[in-house]
Structure 1
Amino acid sequence: MPRAAIIGAGIAGTATAIGLTRAGWHVTLHERATHPETSGAAHGMWPTAITALDQLGVGDAARAIATPQRAGAVRRPDGTLLARLDAERITRHPGDHVRLIARRDLAHLLGTALPAETIRYGSALQGSADDLARGRIDLEPGGTALADVVVVADGVFSAHRTALLGQRYGARYTGQSALRGRVAVVTHEVSETWGPGRRFGVTPYLDGTTNWYASLDAPRGQRAAGGEVALLRELFAGWHDPIGRVLDALTEDGVMHHDLYDVHPHLPTYVAGRAVLVGDAAHGMTPDLGRGACEALVDAVTLTRCLTDVGGHPRTGDVDGALARYDRLRRRPTQRLQSLARGLGRMAHARRFAGARDLLLRVAR
């Protein structure tokens, strides 16, 4: 039985582990953290991601815990409508929905779809670029393992990407920070509101709570001396309903704050020998299109398909060719999305020519 060693038990790594396990590979999933992830806000699952979850055998379970998103709006701080977004119109088929799933729920769903012994928490993998490319990995605190494929899924700050491709390809700070959370406030519209150098978004859940997020131009690492809640209430004071109600419901321990990074420049390849990059390690992007987790899932099923022969068995005779095919299928599409996401983020935060931007959006709606 061919062996795959996966580095990182986030969405990309866990989904890949499910796919390869179902395809007959012996999989070990190594995660440096000592326990499963329980934090995070929410992910918008586009139809391509739901299809990927179907192919992993968990699509129906995902639908059961998801909130469909059929329409949304982009507004100005005073509530003026700039653009109306119909989720079905921008998907391939009528009836397709974008669905909102809490990150912790998605992580739990994927993790429980694997045999219990697959995920090894507190397991850090090491290895030189040559070792990783040959499938040789060093285990901490000791030991060595050999694999037919090493899947690098350790996120946007991937040390293994650096080892394989060099220091030039790293995580780039975008100049924006994101704050997000979930509050017990009823809202009725998916909306994103654009202001100079900042924006605020809300997405309702079926249970009557609301996922919210804000982004703002800020130096890397900067945090509010008086607390995040006070900062948010100051920056978004007077913005249209329901933003005020969401702000009133915030508590300091319910606000997550992360600087936003993407992978830059675009990688010349997602493959180095028998090592292959998936998810944010390959194409970390800003959340502006809501596609990061979606593309990680598509990576997982695409890699699985490439590593499976027409009879549904592990492809062992031409692993190098299979990985090259994965690279051809995934690198350019995901890198286009990286560029689009970063461009949209800059446009949403525009300080100069914001009036012209707003006019174009209103004319185009």
Structure 2
Amino acid sequence: MRIGIIGAGIGGLVAAAGLQADGHEVTVYERRDAPGAVGAGLTLFGNAFSALDAIGLGGPVRAVSADALGRMRSGQRRPSGEWLVSVPPGSGPEVRSLHRAELHSALLARLAAGTARAGRTAQVDPGGEPVVTVDGVPERFDLVVAADGMRSGARRTWGLDRGVRYAGYTAWRGVTASRGHLADEAGETWGAGARIGIVPLPDDRVYWFAVLTAAEGADFGDEPAVLRARFGSWHAPIPALLDATPPTALLRHDIYDLAALPPRFVAGRGVLLGDAAHAMTPDLGQGAGQAIEDAATLVLLLRGARPLDAALHEYDLSRRRRTRTLWRGSRLAGRVAQASSPAAVAARDALMRAMPAGAAVRASARIARWPRP
């Protein structure tokens, strides 16, 4: 088949690589001048690797990722360093960490030259016909995949958009050059309306993120100073990580998710994939993983001998069922983690302390099982 993909993010590139390897003629359109990552680090759990393995991409992604996080003590802590939930090394589900830019490079390397076309404005057909208008010129395909992000133009054009919602908090992300101060411990630290996460990356680097409850669009002025004032008294190695990150390497984004999921992920011969279909807050660490699951599910369904319409129908049902639960769970997890009133923080921390480590591991394992089609 001839397949047009709009968006060269993680989901679009995984879909492109898997489909092209299966013999489909694939073209990827990216509106930015160069397809690449905007962001810092990310974690991928076992469900993402099950999906990648199913379409022949697990090896290349493992090659640019690290398994150090799974070999560390992890869980949730208080700013003092006291553990609320402590998961012993090696007891959780498979998890690997990597830098977004390196993941993008690895996926682009799997595509034939000329597959990804940057700096292109691509629009879908309102009626779901497999036509993409690229810089004003229509091109016909057998299938169109819209992987064009949270503020998807395709979702809006197909009449499936229900808006986006500000989650109530903003997040900074940074990468440091050395991991020597991690002391084999990682995970998240939760305060009142504030938290920090620490993730080891390949090549002795550390990815960290800091989250603050804030008004949408807030101007923080000197952002490194704000971070030091808010988190500088928290347990080691948090102050050292902040100090080791150059201000030019800081990224900050207000956190949004979809206000409601689209009523369907398919419109005629068009498919929504990744954040375009189910953008969720990052609080369960499943945004990239679900985009990968989407892509692998589509690739596998198109391998079968069933008619295209039947394959798209199964994609729609299975992916809406799977992602709805995680979209809701991510939103709830963010609310819990960002508790800010003294009573809410005390109740949250008491509940976390009462949770056996095994229960936390089992909950993570349930999330990290991919329902392969």
TM more than 0.5: yes
Q: Deviations over 1:126-172 (max 9, x none)?
A: 24411xx01122110x32111111101000111110111245x1221
Corresponding residue to 1:120 among 117, 120, 128: 117
Match status 1:342 vs 2:344 = no
Q: Give 1:52 shift.
A: 2.0
Tell me which residue corresponds to 1:145: 139
Match status 1:11 vs 2:10 = yes
Q: Deviations over 1:249-287 (max 9, x none)?
A: 132101000111111212211011111100000010111
Partner Cα separation in structure 1 for residue 266 and residue 88 of structure 2: 37
Contact 1:135 1:274 in 2 (8 A): yes
Q: Give 1:239 shift.
A: 0.4
Once the two structures are superposed, the pairs formed by residues 10-159 of structure 1 within 5 Å of their partners are 10-68=9-67, 69-70=69-70, 71-85=73-87, 89-91=91-93, 97-130=94-127, 133-140=128-135, 142-159=136-153
Tell me which residue corresponds to 1:364: 355
Distance 1:264 1:90, change over 3 A: farther
Partner Cα separation in structure 1 for residue 38 and residue 4 of structure 2: 25
The percentage of aligned residue pairs carrying the same residue is 40
Tell me which residue corresponds to 1:202: 198
Tell me which residue corresponds to 1:171: 164
Q: Give 1:64 shift.
A: 2.2
Tell me which residue corresponds to 1:182: 175
Once the two structures are superposed, the pairs formed by residues 225-264 of structure 1 within 5 Å of their partners are 225=221, 227-264=222-259
The TM-score normalised by the length of structure 1 is 0.91
Distance 1:180 1:3, change over 3 A: same
Partner Cα separation in structure 2 for residue 206 and residue 144 of structure 1: 43
Aligned partner of residue 129 in structure 1, secondary structure? coil
Using the TM superposition, name which of 179-188 and 97-106 deviates more.
Answer: 179-188
Q: Deviations over 1:78-113 (max 9, x none)?
A: 11110013585453xxxxx20001100100011110
Partner Cα separation in structure 1 for residue 165 and residue 37 of structure 2: 26
Q: Give 1:354 shift.
A: 1.0
How many residue pairs end up in the alignment?
A: 348
Partner Cα separation in structure 2 for residue 21 and residue 211 of structure 1: 32
Contact 1:189 1:203 in 2 (8 A): no
Q: Deviations over 1:157-216 (max 9, x none)?
A: 11110111245x122111111100101242132120001111011112343221110111
